[in-house]
Structure formats: structure tokens, C-alpha cells
């Protein structure tokens, strides 16, 4: 028996990076998984790789109808929803507050905050119908710290922690637990984009400087984050809700 045997998980941002690593771990632990993303081709490849325990829904997480539909699709395909991994996120651009454009701020907040809120809005009733469940929200070390040049992203990740705490209080009576996982820089597409933003044309410089700032001396791997997500999704974490979990190589200790 796997840690997630018999459970149904919905993973937004599920076609790559941390989302795909989590999907792979969840399936290995016995879950059936609905992957949600905008990239149909990448989703199709992921499902082909992960096998018959998975399915996918192409959806814009900022759209209420699409969010309601991906939850309904999971219920229809797998019989319910026990786990929501609200993982979809975008980084925006590296610019000062003064130089940053309003459209970028709005886009980052829409995906990173509105998308999580909509996931909660439609998944929590589905979990209630199953007698409870677990929501894991991907925040970031940016949710408890700050960096110059990425104010929309910083703002959004702080906001997800506040949203998590409200949801944890609201969901407790229905047996729904809600927590955030806060990764440090992790080896994903998003970090390649941010590195290039910090050091245009020489992102490796940014990568090396950031890695040296992490006490364990390296970026996280997507699997490092997925391991923690799996624990929080499982019944082993049945008394854990409303909490912020760092998976950051010690960067938040200083």
C-alpha cells in the first residue's frame, strides 16, 4: 500500500517542473492524478509517461468556469477529489516597481493568487463530499522574504500564505487541511527565466551566486519539493493544517 493509495489528486501546473515531479511521486504512492495546465502537448506527454492512473484537463486556472470544470473532470474520471496541489504559477519579469508594467503585475497576481483561490473555491466542496482532504499550495521562499526586481512575484507568494491560513480555518470543520510548501530556487524553467532576468545574457552568473547563498550549497531539485508535498497530502500529516513548510536548503534560517 502506497501512502496515497485510493486517493485522487488534482495538480495544477502539472505538465513540468515541480508539478510533474509531484505527479510522478503521487502515482508511485498509489494516487490517481488529474494534471491541469495550459499546454495540451506537454500534458499529453506527461500522461503517456505516467500511465493509466493519470488524465489531464487543459485549463486556464484564472478562469472560474475552467477551474470548476477541471474539478468536475476529476470527479467524473476518478470518482472524487482528495488532494489539490495548487501549483500553477508564473514569475513575471525582472524590473523595479517603477519600471514594472501594470499588466505584468495583474497577470502574476491572477495566476498565482486568483488561480489558487479558484482552485480552493471549487475543490473544497468536492473534498467535503469525500469526507475531507488535503490542499497543498506552492508558495516560495519569496512568500516570507523579498528580492528586489520581482515585486509582483513576491507579493503573490506572500498572498498565498494568507489565503492558505484563511482556507485552513474554513476547511477544518470539514476535515480539509491546507498548507503551503515554500521552495527555495529549484532547477526548473522558471528559475532559468529569472536568472536571465537578473543577468541578461549570462544567467549562469545568477545561478552560481544564488546557489552559493543557500547553506546546502545548491538549488533544490523538483523531487525535493515533491517529497514534502507527498507527505502533506498523505494521512501521515492528518493533524497538520495552516502551516508554512520551507524546503529551501536552509536559506530562510539566516
Report the pLDDT value the prediction gives residue 1, as an integer from 0 to 100: 78
Nearest-angstrom CA–CA distance, 138 and 144: 13
Q: Are residues 208 and 102 in the same domain?
A: no
| Residue 215, in any domain of the structure | yes
| Residue 3, in any domain of the structure | no
Q: Are residues 160 and 174 in the same domain?
A: yes
Residue 44's contacts (CB-CB under 8 Å, 6 or more residues apart) are 56
Report the pLDDT value the prediction gives residue 199, as an integer from 0 to 100: 87
Residues designated catalytic: 153
| Residue 59, in any domain of the structure | yes
Residue 68: CB atoms within 10 A of its CB come to 16
CB of 183 closer than 8 Å to CB of 140: yes
Nearest-angstrom CA–CA distance, 19 and 4: 16
Nearest to 190 by CA among 214, 162, 213, 210: 210
What does pLDDT average to in each consecutive run of 10 residues of the chain (254 residues)? 95 96 98 98 97 97 98 98 97 96 97 98 98 98 95 98 98 98 94 89 91 95 98 98 98 92
If one counts the domains in the chain, the total is 2
Q: Are residues 130 and 200 in the same domain?
A: no
Report the pLDDT value the prediction gives residue 137, as an integer from 0 to 100: 98
Q: Are residues 227 and 148 in the same domain?
A: yes
> DSSP label at 1?
-
Nearest to 219 by CA among 202, 230, 206, 229: 206
Terminal CA-CA length for the chain: 40
Q: What is the pTM of this model?
A: 0.96
Q: Are residues 196 and 229 in the same domain?
A: no
Report the pLDDT value the prediction gives residue 254, as an integer from 0 to 100: 82
Q: Are residues 159 and 205 in the same domain?
A: no
Report the pLDDT value the prediction gives residue 183, as an integer from 0 to 100: 97
Report the pLDDT value the prediction gives residue 191, as an integer from 0 to 100: 87
Amino acid at each position: 500500500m502506497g501512502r496515497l493509495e485510493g486517493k485522487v489528486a488534482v495538480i495544477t501546473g502539472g505538465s513540468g517542473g515541480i508539478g510533474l515531479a509531484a505527479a510522478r511521486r503521487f502515482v508511485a504512492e498509489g494516487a490517481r492524478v488529474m494534471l491541469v495546465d495550459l499546454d495540451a502537448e506537454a500534458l499529453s506527454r506527461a500522461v503517456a509517461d505516467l500511465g493509466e492512473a493519470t488524465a489531464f484537463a487543459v485549463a486556464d486556472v484564472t478562469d472560474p468556469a475552467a477551474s470548476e470544470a477541471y474539478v468536475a473532470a476529476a470527479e467524473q474520471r476518478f470518482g472524487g477529489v482528495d488532494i489539490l496541489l495548487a501549483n500553477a504559477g508564473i514569475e513575471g519579469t525582472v524590473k523595479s516597481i517603477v519600471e514594472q508594467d501594470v499588466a505584468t503585475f495583474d497577470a502574476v497576481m491572477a495566476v498565482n493568487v486568483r488561480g489558487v483561490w479558484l482552485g480552493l473555491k471549487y475543490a473544497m466542496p468536492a473534498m467535503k463530499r469525500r469526507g475531507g482532504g488535503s490542499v497543498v499550495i506552492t508558495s516560495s521562499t519569496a512568500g516570507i522574504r523579498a528580492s528586489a526586481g520581482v515585486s509582483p512575484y513576491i507579493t503573490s507568494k506572500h498572498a498565498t500564505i494568507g489565503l492558505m491560513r484563511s482556507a485552513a480555518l474554513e476547511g477544518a470543520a470539514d476535515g480539509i487541511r491546507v498548507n503551503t510548501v515554500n521552495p527555495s530556487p529549484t532547477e526548473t524553467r522558471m528559475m532559468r527565466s529569472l536568472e536571465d532576468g537578473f543577468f541578461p545574457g549570462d544567467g549562469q552568473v545568477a545561478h552560481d551566486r544564488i546557489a552559493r547563498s543557500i547553506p546546502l550549497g545548491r538549488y533544490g531539485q523538483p523531487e525535493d519539493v515533491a517529497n514534502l508535498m507527498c507527505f502533506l497530502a498523505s494521512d501521515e500529516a492528518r493533524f497538520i493544517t495552516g502551516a508554512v513548510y520551507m524546503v529551501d536548503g536552509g536559506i530562510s534560517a539566516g
